[in-house]
Structure 1
Amino acid sequence: MNPQGKVAIITGGATGIGLAAATEILQQGAHKVVLVGNIVRDGTEAARDLNREFGKNKAIFMEADVTKMDQFEDVFKETIQYFKRVDILFNNAGIMDDRHWEREVDLNVGGVVRGILLAFKYMGKDSKCGHPSGGPGGIVINNADVLGLQAIPGAPIYSTTKHAVIGAVKNFGDSYHSQRTGIRVVGLCPGVTQTNLVNYAADKQLTPEFGKATLDALSQLPSQRTEIIGRAVLYLIRYAASASVWIIEDSDLFVADIPDRKNVSSFVVSFK
């Protein structure tokens, strides 16, 4: 898919990976980008900065909690009301906080499932919600993390949620769904990326010992900038097949075989 002229919704879009993805998509001529989050200050500042760079009203912020189906659905309804379509959903919102694991599961897994279901409902070619002749189809990219492909005992619940995201990609991305809806569902597994999620990971585990183990594990992996992940998102929009899962680590993008992360089927592209 060429992102030019398209409308994208990005959850967790005000900072970090989400904001980097919004920047890349707008650089390629997207019509609108909708940043979704529940911290109004961050969202309005991010939209303001993007509009300064790319033009008036290219980006807007919508306050919503993706653990609440009605709020998430309102984002789709309002986007279609104003912009007539949604072509891209980046399910990016997530937290690493095993101390509050119920919220972590609901956000990291529930938010992804809600997003996929809403994409099918409002974007699918078989959809009648706001589209008398069907939706445009499109793509749903789900932020799964490399820790969805390997164990990290210091953050067991976080890793479990990301394994669940991989499962959602493989199931919802199956041809049974993609042929009906015209929507590709894909997974992106970033390695360690310079975000607050990583910066505060040690403080958000079940015990201080777990936090130290998490920090030790993450410190052994290469680190990359958020801009690299934004470029990977753009690549997936253009080329990724439905149900495919991709690793972006140390600025290199790979197609990954599941479940063994070490069994990488093919090198794709470097963003170094």
Structure 2
Amino acid sequence: MELTNKVAVITGAGSGIGRASSIKLASMGAKVVLVDFNKETGEETLKLVIEQGGEGIFIQADVSKSEDVQNYVNKAVEAYGRIDVFFNNAGIIQKFAPFTSIEESEFDRIMSVNVKGIFLGLKYVLKVMDEQGFGSVINTASTAGIRAEHSVAVYSASKHAVIGLTKGVALEYAKKGIRINALCPGGVQTALTASVTEQFEKGGYIPEELPNMRIGRYAAPEELAEMVAYLASEKASYMNGSIVVVDGGLTL
């Protein structure tokens, strides 16, 4: 298999794209280190991995806390000796709202996970990969990182920042055997997107414009996992600093 005996760390592994990617990478032979804030869902993912013949461990972490990030990186190295693949995926969505009504606490909440979490993951995983002289990193951005969506300006800003971090760090590590790319999903059927509909129903606020799902449906998380697997593998050996859009034509 393409990733036999490789070690992959996946954040946000408890659901959605993170869970689907964990299962996919494990099916390709990778030993997976699953990271999530939610202990119950993270352990559920590990159970699914093991049931399908995979190998891995689960580590609970808040990706916005430096000590938690250092801990999951250290635990991965202690368990398996190295980190070949890092799917820097954990993220949260903003509450849809008119811009001037957004509370400062909501801004801090989004930036703490979506930007600081990506930054800290890069900071500590890249130290390991730099010593190794190899590695593949996939950061989860969003189509909102290349084109804003209505009434989620802070979320859009956070995902633009992920793309900026991806490009900047890819430039630094281009000659060090480490590839850093960003995945931009658009409209994926996950718990996060399900919560958006609930927001509209309970909150009473609906944006003037809604995303146009041109292909006529949301993506299954497994469809994004296929691209994660590709970027993780040597099949993507000449991709570095790439911003990979998988959105069914949403941004057309």
TM value normalised by structure 1: 0.80
> 1:164/1:203 Cα in 2 relative to 1: closer, same or farther (>3 Å)?
farther
> 1:217/1:68 Cα in 2 relative to 1: closer, same or farther (>3 Å)?
same
Read off the aligned partner of 2:194 and give its amino acid letter.
N
Give unmatched runs, 5+ long, in structure 2. Answer: 96-101
- Match of 1:213, SS state, is coil
The corresponding residue for 1:225 is 220
CA offset digits 1:222-256 (Å, max 9, x no partner): 41100100001011122161111101122x8xxxx
The corresponding residue for 1:101 is 107
- Match of 2:137, SS state, is strand
Is structure 2 residue 178 aligned with structure 1 residue 183?
yes
The corresponding residue for 2:206 is 212
The corresponding residue for 1:246 is 244
- Match of 1:116, SS state, is helix
User: Structure 1 residue 220: deviation in Å?
Assistant: 4.0
The corresponding residue for 1:166 is 163
Give the conservation status (yes or no) of the 8 Å contact 2:115–2:159: yes
RMSD: 2.2
The corresponding residue for 1:33 is 32
User: Structure 1 residue 103: deviation in Å?
Assistant: 1.2
- Match of 1:164, SS state, is helix
Give unmatched runs, 5+ long, in structure 1. Answer: 128-134, 253-260, 263-272
- Match of 1:46, SS state, is helix
- Match of 1:94, SS state, is coil
The corresponding residue for 2:146 is 149
How far apart are the structure 2 equivalents of 1:80 and 1:136? 15
How far apart are the structure 1 equivalents of 2:115 and 2:163? 10
1:3-82 to structure 2, matched below 5 A, reads 3-30=3-30, 32-55=31-54, 58-82=55-79
TM value normalised by structure 2: 0.86
1:83-122 to structure 2, matched below 5 A, reads 83-98=80-95, 100-122=106-128
How far apart are the structure 2 equivalents of 1:192 and 1:86? 30
Give the conservation status (yes or no) of the 8 Å contact 2:36–2:62: yes
Is structure 2 residue 203 aligned with structure 1 residue 197?
no
Read off the aligned partner of 2:45 and give its amino acid letter.
A
**Which structure has the higher relative contact order (CA within 8 Å, separation 6+)?**
2
User: Structure 1 residue 106: deviation in Å?
Assistant: 0.8
